[in-house]
Amino acid sequence: MQVFRTVKVFKDLTWEATYAGHKANFLSFLMALPNKIASFPDFMKILKMVEFCKICEGVKNQAFSVLQTNVHNLCGESIGRIQEVVEQDEKGNEQHSLNRRSLTCEYFIDTPSSGALCRNCNVLRRNMSVKLVRFNNILQEESERLAEPSKSKVNKRFLSNEEISERENDQKRRRITAEKRVKYWKFKAAEEKKMKHMAVDDGNDLMVMFKELDKVDEKNPDKEMFPDDPKLSLFWEMQRDVISKKSKKRAIRWHPLIIKTCLALWHRSKQAYEILQDSGFIKLPSTRLLQYHKGKIKQKPGRNIEMLKHMKSLAETQDVSPAGCCGYITFDEMSIQDDVQLRRKGESFEIVGVVNLGDLYEDMKVLQTGKDEVVIATHLLQFMFIGSTGFKFPVCYFPTIEVDPTTLYHQFWNAVYDLAEFGFKVLLAICDGAQANRTFIQCHFDDDAGKENFTTTNIYTGEPLVFMVDPSHNFKKVRNNLLKSTTNGKSPRHFKLDGKEILWSHLKEAYMYDVEYNPIQTFKYLTPQHFEPGSADKMRNYLADDVLGKRMVEVVQNYQVHLLKKGDHTDVLEKTVELLKVTSVLLKNFKNKKPYRSSEDARFVENKQCLQWFERWETQAMSTDGISLKEKGKMFMSYKTMFDVYSMIVGFEVYCNILFKMYPGSSVSACYTNQDKLENFFGEQRAHNGQTTNPTIMQTENSTLGIIQMQEYKRSKGNCTVNRT
């Protein structure tokens, strides 16, 4: 079967090329072709290009035959189709085969480009490769599950002595467990007999109460008992239903809202829930039922389809808007115990507590080191999605040691892909200012990330994706840089602007004056801990916010007035006050609950002015003559801190503009666009396990779903407090 390449020329001298009757696209060619034929050389150029350029062969990999016929992208749109290809072998016989081709296939490929696929078919191939990997992983997991042999039904004659001993020990264990169970239920039966008459009396009293509540006004027979409170009506209806079915407990079906509320209460305090349940004043679901709801989704490192399905169902239950399903992903590491544990899985055990970053990480590690070693995990890498309207969900986690940028790159984009598959868009990525995270951000840019406004392209959806460093960490880093600014020659910082010093001692002296001479302290929350922080105090957000806020500006200005009255030089504190004014503006704009609703918000202008002030300071410090490069670096903040501040200001504005353009009328709250919710999640993980500072992997897995079911997790003693200035 012959396939022709044709060139059609129309009356207006426009032209088009076809292959096998399909129109070709030459937009991606390196050599530009004219839209109209202006001369005979143009026509020959077109003919030559059509004659000698390569033809897109389509996706011929037979491994893709297990996938569905129609190929869809992440948005659900069809992007590929199956095409029958007829080829002749060496003997001249026709051979029929099937390959896949993009619906927008260009058919012709520019000769200098490599490969046998056009740009659109190459996108189709990558999409199908990802789907094939997912399909093979699911198939492998299913086959491993079905292939596990069971020795419990094997004839005793075919077992070894060790296996016979193991079976006898197992039977002995089951017998002992059964005896304990019999004793337990005998005790429960005796208790039930004692409490039976009390339960009958309580039930009768409750039924009398319900009858009183059900009485309606004779003049208004259609009047409801709680017309303005549907939840209270639901509560009383459930109580009546439970009491009426007390002899048929299996027939009780608790409302999901009741289960949700009871789960939140049970997770907060199991003892309080048991006290309320045993009081007899109210009927509640049993702890066994709550335990079932808590453990219905098994936790595992990496991609967890069940958790993603649960995330989607929660979003649908909470009626999260399309704008709410669009937000940012944040990630951070939490210290865990470097401990190895065994967890029962069917009739076997699995090891928990070792590094688990996926097959790609393990394969690359073997190629680099030549060893296939198992390493005990010391940290937990957690990814969390937070929507623009406040919906949040911990997407996945990985036991690891301190993660490197390359591994972080792969796991991040895997998480973005998984979220997109379930209808969640990621427009922003927030991380702290660790060096690995900074390198991870730079991996997405050929040059300086600031020149691209910290914005890259989502490799799966083609939409923009912005990177931003967490504001809370940035303010702590600015405070730490200022803390090092002293006149001591050994100090790493000695801030100067316009020839005037910016020193930490200025703030400390102002605080000492305020405490000593003012009868009422200007800022009552300031303590010596703010100005002489220890290693743990430097991690507290509120200590940095208090020192850099507007109330601290008042304290320093009062001290400046005091120096003026004494006749001292008041311009000594001029640049220190100027720095505090800049940081107080940033704190106000990034800690305020007032949402941003438009790209014309005045706070964007204020943030840009603050950034320009920092840039002017940096330029002046680096252009100072007569001193070494090291001394120039001391006059300004560290490069890392400036990078983080720049990404915070620019990245947040770009994220807001993208969201406003995608979803007109939406809003963004800067005080919630940070890592605070992830830090609160870590705090709940520790609190669920006895206020431990580093729980084990199994402890975090057991408490994760419970924390999600608590609806709102926020630790009163956590490191996420609102600015008090």
CA–CA distance, 481 with 371 (Å, rounded to integer): 42
CA–CA distance, 681 with 553 (Å, rounded to integer): 33
Interval 494-514: pLDDT, tens: 999 988 999 999 999 999 999
Q: Which domains does the chain have, with CATH numbers?
A: 5-141 (no CATH), 224-295 (no CATH), 305-470+674-712 (3.30.420), 473-662 (no CATH)
Could you tell me how many residues make up the chain?
A: 725
Kindly write down the DSSP assignment for every residue of 450-502, as one continuous string. GGGTTEEE-TTT--EEEEEE-HHHHHHHHHHHHHTB-S-TTSSB-EEETTEEE
Question: Is pLDDT at 655 greater than 90 in this prediction?
Answer: yes
564-573 contact pairs (CB < 8 A, 24+): 571/500, 572/500, 572/501, 572/506, 573/506, 573/510
The mean pLDDT of 204-222, rounded to a whole number, is 54
Beta bridge partners of 465: 456
The mean pLDDT of 621-635, rounded to a whole number, is 89
Cβ atoms within 10 Å of 603's Cβ, excluding its own: 17
The mean pLDDT of 360-382, rounded to a whole number, is 86
Question: How far is the CA of 233 from the CAs of 206, 224, 238, in angstroms?
Answer: 15, 9, 9
CA–CA distance, 592 with 584 (Å, rounded to integer): 12
Interval 674-721: pLDDT, tens: 999 998 888 888 877 766 678 888 888 878 877 877 655 555 555 655
Question: Is pLDDT at 199 greater than 60 in this prediction?
Answer: no
pLDDT classification of 475: cutoffs 50, 70, 90 = very high
Cβ atoms of residues 584 and 725 within 8 Å = yes
CA–CA distance, 296 with 704 (Å, rounded to integer): 12
Dihedral sign computed on CA atoms, order 278, 280, 284, 286: positive
Dihedral sign computed on CA atoms, order 33, 38, 42, 47: positive
135-141 contact pairs (CB < 8 A, 24+): 135/66, 135/67
What is the structure's pLDDT at 30?
46
Question: Is pLDDT at 87 greater than 70 in this prediction?
Answer: no
- For the chain, give percent helix, strand, coil, nearest 5: 50, 15, 35
Q: Which of 14-28, 75-89, 247-261 has the lowest mean pLDDT?
A: 75-89
CA–CA distance, 71 with 332 (Å, rounded to integer): 35
Question: Is pLDDT at 610 greater than 90 in this prediction?
Answer: yes
Q: Exposed, middle or buried: residue 480 (CB in 10 Å: 0-12, 13-18, 19+)?
A: middle
Cβ atoms within 10 Å of 437's Cβ, excluding its own: 24
What is the structure's pLDDT at 429?
95
H-only helix segments in 504-638: 504-517, 528-531, 541-548, 550-566, 574-591, 602-622, 629-634
pLDDT classification of 218: cutoffs 50, 70, 90 = very low
Of the two residues 142 and 722, the one the predictor is more confident about is 142
What is the structure's pLDDT at 219?
46
DSSP character for 376? Answer: B
658-667 contact pairs (CB < 8 A, 24+): 658/427, 658/464, 658/466, 659/323, 659/326, 659/388, 659/427, 660/597, 660/598, 660/599, 662/323, 662/326, 662/427, 663/322, 663/323, 663/326, 663/388, 666/323, 666/388, 667/388, 667/595, 667/596, 667/597
Q: Exposed, middle or buried: residue 278 (CB in 10 Å: 0-12, 13-18, 19+)?
A: exposed
Structure tokens at 296: 């219905």
Q: Which of 99-113, 409-423, 609-623 has the lowest mean pLDDT?
A: 99-113
User: Tokens 């080829």 label which residue?
Assistant: 87
CA–CA distance, 234 with 226 (Å, rounded to integer): 10
Interval 219-252: pLDDT, tens: 454 555 566 677 777 777 777 777 776 656 666 7
What is the structure's pLDDT at 27?
57
Question: Is pLDDT at 342 greater than 60 in this prediction?
Answer: yes
Question: Is pLDDT at 436 greater than 80 in this prediction?
Answer: yes
CA–CA distance, 460 with 96 (Å, rounded to integer): 33
Q: Exposed, middle or buried: residue 169 (CB in 10 Å: 0-12, 13-18, 19+)?
A: exposed
End-to-end CA distance of the chain, in Å?
Answer: 80
Question: Is pLDDT at 486 greater than 70 in this prediction?
Answer: yes
The three state secondary structure string of 289-310 is: HHHHHHCCCCCCCCCCHHHHHH
What is the structure's pLDDT at 476?
94
